[in-house]
Amino acid sequence: MRITFKLFATLMRFLPEGGSRNVITLDVAETTTPNDLIDRYNLPEKEVHLVLVNGVYLYEADRDKPLKDNDALAIWPPVAGG
């Protein structure tokens, strides 16, 4: 199946080769979960803060549920501002 994988801010450095800016389209197995991709691309646990699928926030327990065809997985580090 095919998904869109987006990494933001400091996580962009982990985007697989072939991506454009902060986005890449990936072909993955139907059993692939957000945590699988976090592990596969060595995203530091301390930098993975917001995980969204199709714009919906995933709680920690939901990150082990398989993605679906055409899902968009977006991951943000902690952000601060004022």
- How crowded is the C-beta side of 27, counted as CA atoms within 13 Å? 0
Residue given tokens 């697989």 in the structure block: 16
| 25-63 confidence digits (pLDDT tens) | 999 999 999 999 999 999 999 999 999 999 999 999 999
pLDDT at 68 over 90: yes
Q: Residue 28 is encoded by which pair of tokens?
A: 């993955």
* List of domains in the chain: 2-76 (3.10.20.30)
- pTM for the full model? 0.93
CA angle (75 as vertex; 29, 24 as ends), nearest 5: 55
The phi, psi pair for 25, rounded to 5°, reads -95, 130
The phi, psi pair for 57, rounded to 5°, reads -60, 135
